[in-house]
Structure 1
């Protein structure tokens, strides 16, 4: 009977396919993978009330396209029309189709990503129906045109009630209008999740008519099938498939017999564990008897072992001391009371403090205040505050010396704070080299600025040239003379301003804090890169609050923006986007620069601010290092978040100390008029 039904069904499908083939019209775009699906087969694929094409298959195909790096076009169609389009080669695939022997002769299929089956749903409190054999003499709901009706007909003596969909059938089950619902397992799970009745419905019995389900391709398209299988496997490995599955079908509702099976497994485990415990106790009694006999001998061995362990501890302490002394940096540790517990040999050479005279003394008794910030040292010892890459410059032996140091808390058992560790090194030569290379990096930025300014100069020069060329023929025109007398001086002023900014930027200066509007410096700096932004087709966006004022070194802030903007531009190949935003509250000013470039790998994130670290073939590795230094000098903080192939967000946070700095610096609101 089943075989006859299948043959008739296939004949109807083939007749419909060939009759509809001429009417199917799909956009033939060779650069796009065209995938068709059913118009109304929820939750697999359907067009919702808003006209959106949604469903499990739709989400899976879009995720597969991203995984394979291809562009797809999803085409909702009548089911028979989709078959015709695939046979005629007008589409590349049908996104979801059950496998059978007849279809395998017509299509190639991907690996299955679902198994369709039919199950029996009953109310949670049901204690009578445990499978299909218990449905005799009862009212059972099925979805119209579902194969479940044939299955129930073969059992016989069942009153079958047809409904348009399982959603309506479950409503009847909840209201006790039917005794059970038999239908597609996954469609049922979707409707149960949609109606939020997971606590009212359960599955009983075994799954019936299990059929593999996957992507159908035109016969012979093996390369596309292979790529699709690889993509599906990757989606399962990275968890994307599971998320899509749970979105549409919810968590698995296990049949009652499976829960019973797990209960039996648990009881078996308990019995086995009990037997093992009994055997263990028996064995333990035998061992204890033998242990009593060996006790005297063991006591002697314990003493020998203690002596050996003490020797090992002494050897370990000597080894640790050698390791600490061999470090290229100075190292000092303190307990929670501020007493020095460890000091290595490099500390003696770097700060001239003898180990024998320092151990056991307080941190404020041996002259550390000349080399380190004592308040920060006290905070770390007392409260466990972390200070990384701090710097302090002092005068010693007729020259300035700079130390870089880090303060970290020491933790004991159960993560209890027990003290602090100070590590430091002499970076005087590094500072000198960094300053020289910073100037070199600035000159490289200057070169890019010159290119930008050259582009900006052409615009006013073009206007001036146009007026000069028109003067002989339009000088008698009053409107022409008025426009010329207005616009030419304005363009000359614009040229002078650009050149003044360039000269001002190129002059070496000491750090000089002043009051200025942060928006102005951003807009002025970005304008110099207009040509490069236009060349790459990069869109620039602003979300900046007006009148956000800051007290800082203007040239250093400008250099920070230049370096970060250059990095963003270089990370975008073409047609990207860069956005600037500024937010202000009572405590801080936050500036963000966001791009959708190639991003930064996780392994490179830890080295971003290290001098000379670069991933560019012609880079100096100083751009972000200089930004870090300048931000610190202006009492700020820089944070970077990035993901490869997604983009980078750089956050600059400055203290909103305008009023305090105004009192110290002696400026007022009139300073912003300039």
Structure 2
């Protein structure tokens, strides 16, 4: 009876193929042979999702694989047609079917809405869709519970169509496939994901996704079919017949067992465990005792060699990292040197016209004062008159003040340009000298005065009196002070927060200290130990390079000083710069420091 049925099915398939070739329009004659003596087999293209394991996906070699793929190839064998499998993004495959770029779409859920545009084969399996949630997701056991929540769904899939049509209160967040939806859910995006329960558990296990799981009972049981456009509906007859044949010959059951059934572990009684354990352990123990000494010796030698290799690898990695760090520092130093040359050139160009103003403004003031006697006589004889569009009686006192303000402004420009030129010059050992820390701080403040005024309305400067001098490069220390103040300004969230700069002398460590105290956002404890590392920054998105504090720490180290940070997130940060004070006993040491490097022990 089985053979008769199978033969009848094959005959039916052959007849359908002949009918299909006869009814196809001329534009599709490429599917059927026109040579009666050498008929060609029908070739169709079947599309599917490129990443929907275990149903369909691209394997490690980039080849189509999975339950749907093997089922389609089995259909090709029993129906005598050629099948080309084409996998891509599901939404693209839906569009490819509509455009006629593929003939049949595999693994599509049947729905009344879709049936208005495409034709479906008989269902060949069912797919349970479940709600997947994180541990911190809200409680939800049904679609109604997810109203107002963000739900990740594969764009163009059955759940995507259903939610858009019947559940407008759910915020649909499209994903390009099921795995993308699960990965985004695990990363904290959205509240839930609607994914096939079988595929979802498979993807979670294969990709090691943590903290997500299916919750509640399945919310939808979808009929899984093949589909095509109405003009190729004859293909579904071949598909339906082939499915019947695969179910009859057992191939369908084998594919289900291979891809869709997760085998339960066999249960073994404790008696069997002890019996089989004894049969296995006794020979193993005998072998183990005989090889123990030999293996120990090998393990010792392998461990020694492994340790040597690990040390060698660690040395090479450290050397590589150090080389990369130095290369980055060299590149940045070269850029800063170029910037210094540009700054010096700009300062020179500003000095020329500013010098003209400084030279001419005193002459103009003297000239106006000389002309006052004549102008006063004219005023007494003829009354008030206009000067520059304003009454002379007013301009007589304002013009001297205006000229005086202009001279003071030009002098300020001169000081700022001088400070800028000093700041842009690279410090060298020849620059080392006795320094007044208060003068260095005042020069630095002139450079950053504009940034301070924009950042805070509560700036306080406290300069200690009778500070002992320090020995160092004014330009290099000034660079450190500028970096610390600019960092403090950038940490202030609004202008109501305070910024304080203070100098003092610490007798306990014989050091001159500078404290920059801000009421900014603070630094988290996990970052405090890394803030002076080269290229470490928490402001990368706003243009930070992570080199300011690193360069500053290097300069402080060159001056045998210390740079300490104390911070409370949300309350502010205190940075303390300490430099050795020069005393009578340290004069000789300062002189020797200017001629060569000092040992590491000569620090605060």
Instruction: Assess same fold via TM > 0.5.
Output: no
TM-score of the aligned structures, taking structure 1 as reference length: 0.34
Structure possessing the higher radius of gyration over alpha carbons: 2
TM-score of the aligned structures, taking structure 2 as reference length: 0.38
In proportion to residue count, which structure has more strand? Answer: 1
Instruction: Give the structure, 1 or 2, with the largest relative contact order (CA under 8 Å, sep 6 or more).
Output: 2
